[in-house]
Structure 1
C-alpha cells in the first residue's frame, strides 16, 4: 500500500528526463528540441526501443555497423580481448592485436601503402593525414607549403584541421569561418565525367602549387557534405596533379572503405592509389572507435628524416587492444562472406524500393550507389516529420539538410531493404 508520504513524492525522472537534464547530443542545442528515442537493445539489423517497438536500422549507426548488432564472431572477439588486456599505452610498447591489424590493412589496401598509424576516430585520422602532408613538405625543405587543396562539397570530420577542409559555405562548419585555416578549394566534382573539370583541377593546383602541401578528398562519394557521387576518373587527374607538384594525395575512405560503394575501397574504381589513406567507421564493425591513416614509404621516410624526427601525434588510446582485436574480427567476417554480393543486393533493393520516390512532389533526385540510397529534395527536410513517417514503417532513419538517405548493414534481409525504401519514400512525402 502507498503511504501518504510516498504518494506525495514526485514521480522518479525517466531516462528521457535525465537525458534532457544532462546529455548534449550531436549538432543540437542543450536541452534538445525533441526527445531522442531510447534504445534498449540491438540485435541483427533491429533496434529495440524502451516501449518494445523494433526498428530496422537504415543507418548502420552512422555507417559503421556493417555486420549488424550482436554478431557472434565480434562479440567473441571482444570477450577474448578483455581476457588479455583492456588497454596499454602505445608509446614504447606494442602488442599482437595492433601489429596483426596493421598487417591486415596493408594486405587489403593498394600498394605502395605500407605503414599504418592507428588513431582514435575518423576525424583524428584526418588530422594525422594533414600533419603527414605538412611534415612531408617541411622535410623536403618547403616550409611555405602550409595549405591543403580539396574540392567543395566535402566533409572530413569535426576537429579543427578536418573542419578546415570541409565545404566552407554549404557545410556544417560555416560557424567557424575566420578561425579555421584558409584552404584551397576547387569546384564540386560533377556527377558524370567532364574533361573540363580535370582542367579546372589542374588550373587550381598550378595557381597554388608553391603554398599547397597536399590534396585531400573523399573518393567517389562525398558523404555528410551532401551524399553526392562523382566519376572515379577525376581521381586519376588528382593523382597526376599530385605527382606533377610533389603533393601528398590523401583519400578519405572513412565512410566508403570496406565495401560500401561496391568495391572494397572506392578508389579501386579509379585504379589509382593515394599517398595516404584514411579508414574508420566500418573498420571495427561499429563495436569500438578506431581509425587508421596508412601511408607510403616515401611519405614515412621523409617525415622520419625531417627536423621533428618523427610524426608528431600520439593519442592516449592509440592502438587500443580491444578495438584492434574486434577490427581484425570485423575484417575476417567481411572477407569470409560474399560482401560484394550483399552490397549489390542492397543496391538492387534500394533501387526497387526508391522508384516511387521519383513521383513525390519536391523530390529532385533519387540515386543509389553500392549500399547507399539517397532521396534529395528541393527544400530542407522537416526532420521530425520525416523520422516519424519512417518510424511508422518500422525503420530508423536520420535525414539531414535536404536529404533522406540510407546506408543499411550489409546483412539486411531483402524484405527489410524494401521496407527501408518504403520508409524513405514516406519520409520524403512527410518532409
Structure 2
C-alpha cells in the first residue's frame, strides 16, 4: 500500500513548491496543542503556528465544540440579502475592540481577499466622490500582502511575482523605516504626497512578515499615517499576520500613539487557525461614500462563502479564548522568553541581528553569503529543523519563531535549541541539542 505522502504526490500540487525536486511532504494526521503528529507517530513541534494561523493550539476543544454546535444549527446561508447571528455577533465584538474609528465589517475568505476588498474600497471611495484620478497606492519595499492580483500589485516585486509583473498595476514603494532610517523614509513620503493621484498607503504594522520579520517602531508609523491623513490619503493596516495578539496587544495598530488606520484587514488568526476566513473593516466616512440612491455606487464584491456561519463561530470561540487573562499571560510569557533568548545570542559570531516584537522572534544569521530564499543554507536550516522534529520555514538566512500561545517553556527551549544548532551550522562548532523523550507517542 502506498503511504499518505506517496498518494499525495500522485495527485496534489503544493504551494510555493517546485514539485519536481521537492521531497515528499510530511504526512500529518493529528494535532494536539503545539504538536503535529505524523502518520508514523512522530511528533513535530509547530514553531510557526502552521503559517501563522494557529493561536491556541491544534484541535482546541473549545473551538471544536462551537464549530460542531454551529454545524448542527446552520452551516451556510448566502450573505447578499440575508444575515445570521454569528456574523452579527462577531462584527459587534470586533468593532468594540478595534480602534474607535472602525465602523463596518466586510467579510471575505482569506488574507489576500481581505486586502483586495480594502484596495477596492479605497479606489471606489474616490471614484464615488468624483476623484477617479486618485488611484496610486504607496507601500513598503519587501512588503507582502497576498497572492491575488491586487495584493500582488501592492507587494514587493520579487521572484514570486515576476511572471505577473506586466499585469500588475503600478505602485510607489517606500523604504522600510527601520531604526536609523526614519527621517529618510519620511522625506520619501513627503515627495510622493505632493502628487495629486495618491489614494492609499497600505502597510504591515510594525512587522513585515515575509520580508524576514523586519521591524520598525510605532512612532514612525504614526508619523507616516499622520502625513498621509494630512493629504487625504487613506491608510490600510494589513493585520493579517499581526492581529489577535501576535505583537503584544490584540492589534498592532493599538500601539500607534495618536493616529488610526482608515481600513484594517484580518485573516490567519481570526478563526484561531480553524477555518479559512477574512474580513476588512473601515471607518464610517468610507462606508458613507458608498451610500446612495445610485445602485452603481455600491461595493460590488463578494464571495460564495462570505460570512460563513461556521467560520464565524470558530472566530467567536477563538476571540473568546484570546480575550481571557490566561491567554494574555501566555503571550506575556512567550514575549519574556523570547527577550531572554535574544539577550543570550545577540551579538554572537554568526548572528547578524535578532528582532523581537511580542510573540514574534526572528534570528538573522550571518553566513557571509547564500542568504536568498532559494539558497542551500535555507534548505539546510529547514531540514535541520525537521530532523529535530520542529516545524519552521526559514526565510533565507532569517529563521523566525511564531508559536501557538499554549507553547510551554519546555517546548520553547526545544525551539531555541534548534536555533542554537542553526548557528552551529553557520559556524560549524556547536553540538546538536539533546532531544527529549516526549517526541514520540
Q: TM-score, structure 1 length as denominator?
A: 0.92
Q: Deviations over 1:244-272 (max 9, x none)?
A: 22121110011001110011111111132
From 327, 330, 334, the equivalent of 1:346 is 334
From 75, 79, 86, the equivalent of 2:75 is 86
Task: Tell me the CA shift for residue 34 of structure 1.
Answer: 1.4
Matches for 1:19-418 after TM superposition, within 5 Å: 19-169=8-158, 172-191=160-179, 194-206=182-194, 208=195, 210-271=196-257, 272-305=259-292, 308-353=296-341, 357-358=345-346, 362-378=350-366, 379-380=371-372, 382-418=377-413
In structure 1, stretches of 5+ residues that fail to align are: 1-11
Q: Deviations over 1:154-184 (max 9, x none)?
A: 1101111001111124x63233222211111
Structure 1 residue ranges, 4+ long, deviating more than 6 angstroms after superposition: none
User: What SS does structure 1 have at the residue aligned with 2:281?
Assistant: strand
Q: Deviations over 1:34-72 (max 9, x none)?
A: 111111210111111122111111011111111011211
Which is further off, 283-292 or 392-401?
392-401
User: What SS does structure 1 have at the residue aligned with 2:167?
Assistant: coil
Q: Give yes or no for contact 2:330–2:405 (8 Å, CA) kept in 1.
A: yes
Pairwise CA RMSD = 1.9
Which is further off, 265-274 or 114-123?
265-274
**What is the number of residues matched between the two proteins?**
417
Q: Give yes or no for contact 2:212–2:362 (8 Å, CA) kept in 1.
A: no
Which is further off, 267-276 or 374-383?
374-383
Task: Tell me the CA shift for residue 242 of structure 1.
Answer: 2.5
Q: 2:420 & 2:125 partners in 1: Cα distance? A: 48
Q: Give yes or no for contact 2:90–2:315 (8 Å, CA) kept in 1.
A: yes
User: What SS does structure 1 have at the residue aligned with 2:289?
Assistant: helix
User: What SS does structure 1 have at the residue aligned with 2:340?
Assistant: helix
Q: Give yes or no for contact 1:120–1:290 (8 Å, CA) kept in 2.
A: yes
CA distance 1:231–1:354, change in 2 (3 Å): closer
Q: Give yes or no for contact 2:142–2:211 (8 Å, CA) kept in 1.
A: yes
CA distance 1:147–1:242, change in 2 (3 Å): same
User: What SS does structure 2 have at the residue aligned with 1:351?
Assistant: helix
Task: Tell me the CA shift for residue 354 of structure 1.
Answer: 5.1
Q: Give yes or no for contact 1:386–1:426 (8 Å, CA) kept in 2.
A: no
Task: Tell me the CA shift for residue 277 of structure 1.
Answer: 0.6
Task: Tell me the CA shift for residue 418 of structure 1.
Answer: 1.5
Q: 1:393 & 1:351 partners in 2: Cα distance? A: 23
Q: TM-score, structure 2 length as denominator?
A: 0.90
Q: 1:334 & 1:213 partners in 2: Cα distance? A: 34
Q: Give yes or no for contact 2:270–2:278 (8 Å, CA) kept in 1.
A: yes
Task: Tell me the CA shift for residue 289 of structure 1.
Answer: 0.6
Q: 1:198 & 1:164 partners in 2: Cα distance? A: 22
Which is further off, 97-106 or 419-428?
419-428
Task: Tell me the CA shift for residue 356 of structure 1.
Answer: 5.5
Task: Tell me the CA shift for residue 196 of structure 1.
Answer: 4.0
CA distance 1:145–1:307, change in 2 (3 Å): farther
Q: Give yes or no for contact 1:357–1:375 (8 Å, CA) kept in 2.
A: no
